[in-house]
Structure 1
Amino acid sequence: MVEDSDAALVDAWRGGDREAGKRLFQRHYAAIARFFRNKVGEAGPDLIQRTFLACLEGRERFRHEAAFRSYLFAIAYKVLCKHYREQRRAEARVDFAEDSAHELSSPISAVAARQEQRLLLEGLRRLPVDYQVVLELHYWEGISAAELAEVLSIPVGTAKTRLRRGRELLEERLRELSTSAVLLQSTLANLDAWAARLRVQVLGDEPE
């Protein structure tokens, strides 16, 4: 039996072991589904399929210097950006440092039970896409600044800056969207905890 690490499965997959490729996709499917869930609404399943197809077609280009999930998220990010550009008219440029998922896509299907969770979901969607991506990967997948740098092809220092600025912008959006001071305080005081609960209760799957 092939060793269970991502690296071993990738090597076996390249060598023609289709079962190894299937195991890789099954392992990372939930994370890729979460990546698209709060960004594109009903287009999610199609973009998940595009991501794994691109991974299949480009598997020979993967290098073990980076984690396989970083490689996969990098593909997902490119697929997302291409999708947003396709949704805009040809003459309308998309600026991922300015435009948000709220502006670029249809409403999401995720429904949160708690007010804090609903506020956080909407707050994230109203961030510029580049900041939404880094915060969701950080909160929901436990991705570090170094790995974010690999995913987005940016310097580690830039990834750290985006995380810091993203949190600042998220707090601003939450203040704008909140309907009460109590709700805002509850959300801000336990932001990491609400993000973790959101992953499990709304987006599905326990952390790996």
Structure 2
Amino acid sequence: MDDAELLLRWRDGDRDAGEALFERYFAALARFFRNKVPHGVEDLVQQTFVACIEGMHRLRSAASFRSFLFAIAHNLLRASFRAQQRGAEPFDPEKVSAHQLAPGPSTLFARHGEQRLLLEALRTIPLDAQVLLELFYWEDLTSAEIAEVMGSPHGTVRSRLRRARELLRERLSELAASPDVLASTVQDLDGWAASLKSAGSPPG
């Protein structure tokens, strides 16, 4: 069954349909949180589904379930970082990075130098730029779907995606340990990003 049918059954009280949706999206949600927070990933995934149940009445159509789910995850991520931030400066996901908010290496497993470089670069660009790129490269969301997740106009998201790619390339250049690894990463950015998708999935 597709998401729409499962969601309709879940709304009608079919718990098995709800569990099927949970299993379908658990890995993607875990991957979403895992490259941004150092711990508590499973709790955040659980909170996402609880909030999904509580806010299901706000879902415009069953066809937009995936965007709705990631929008909840995105809001929870922001709330988590906002609660952790110290000092007088307000939390600004367009300026502050995941690395600044939660220092330490990514919990995603990186086998290759290109993967490690890409993960580090993603974590050191502004959080919103990181989210945009990971939703695009890892979750295969369209720019229109990402606009729903981010709560921004479609045209704005398209321009921010371009800027996020520029920021990522700048950070790759700054962080690369060797010209060869940098060249390999930049030349096949889509491929290395795709290779990290499976690395970000929890073991089955």
- Does the 8 Å contact 2:38/2:107 carry over to 1? yes
Residues 107-139 of structure 1, C-alpha deviations (whole Å, 9 max, x = no match): 232231100000000000011011000100100
- The 2-side partners of 1:106 and 1:18 are apart by 39
Q: How does 1:141-160 map to 2 (within 5 A)?
A: 141-160=139-158
- Does the 8 Å contact 1:131/1:163 carry over to 2? yes
Amino acid aligned to 1:17: D
Gap runs ≥5 in structure 1: none
**Which one of the candidate residues 97, 108, 111 is aligned to 2:109?**
111
**Cα distance, 1:90 vs. partner?**
6.7
Q: How does 1:42-191 map to 2 (within 5 A)?
A: 42-64=39-61, 67-89=64-86, 91-107=88-104, 108-191=106-189
- Does the 8 Å contact 1:40/1:101 carry over to 2? yes
**Which one of the candidate residues 7, 12, 27 is aligned to 2:9?**
12
1:26: which partner in 2? 23
- Does the 8 Å contact 2:35/2:108 carry over to 1? yes
1:194: which partner in 2? 192
- The 2-side partners of 1:60 and 1:9 are apart by 15
Provide the secondary structure at the position in 2 that maps to 1:39: coil
**Cα distance, 1:204 vs. partner?**
2.6
98-107 or 62-71, which deviates more: 62-71
Residues 137-159 of structure 1, C-alpha deviations (whole Å, 9 max, x = no match): 10001111111111111111111
1:203: which partner in 2? 200
Amino acid aligned to 2:35: N
Provide the secondary structure at the position in 1 that maps to 2:108: coil
- The 2-side partners of 1:174 and 1:100 are apart by 15
- The 1-side partners of 2:103 and 2:20 are apart by 32
- Does the 8 Å contact 1:13/1:20 carry over to 2? yes
Q: CA RMSD in A?
A: 1.4
Amino acid aligned to 2:13: G
Gap runs ≥5 in structure 2: none
Identity over aligned residues, as a percent? Answer: 51
- Does the 8 Å contact 1:101/1:126 carry over to 2? yes
Provide the secondary structure at the position in 2 that maps to 1:70: helix
Number of residue pairs aligned between Structure 1 and Structure 2: 201
- Does the 8 Å contact 1:47/1:79 carry over to 2? yes
Provide the secondary structure at the position in 2 that maps to 1:67: helix
Q: Which has the higher contact order (CA 8 A, sep 6+)?
A: 2
